[in-house]
Amino acid sequence: MSDQPSDWQSSKGLAKSMLHDRPTRRKLMARSLALLLAVFAIGLWGIPGWLAADLWRFIIWWGACGFLAIFVVVFALYDVMRVIREERDRL
């Protein structure tokens, strides 16, 4: 076996380091929120005719938007819990 970590282990390590660093976590949250707002705006004003043309397009588009919104909310809750834990450990 090689001594190099697998891609999965490398990805886990990268994600863990990004989630434990508060400024990086906040940048990721801001970018996720900006992406969510952009996707909503595109769906509402950019391509409403294209979405209305087919029911499956509509369902997939707004389902993906809903998934992204849930991701942003869960990410924000994670951030709140991490901040509480960091501040509790500081005292």
Q: 24-51, pLDDT tens digit by residue?
A: 889 999 999 999 999 999 999 999 999 9
Helix (H, G, I), strand (E, B) or coil at 25: helix
Q: Return the domain boundaries, the chain.
A: 24-90
What's the predicted TM-score (pTM) here?
Answer: 0.78
Position of tokens 């400024």? 23
Q: What is the pLDDT of residues 3-19, one digit of tens each?
A: 777 888 887 787 777 77
Burial 16-49 (b: 16+ CB within 10 A, else e): eeeeeeeeebeeeeeebeeebeebeeebeeeeee
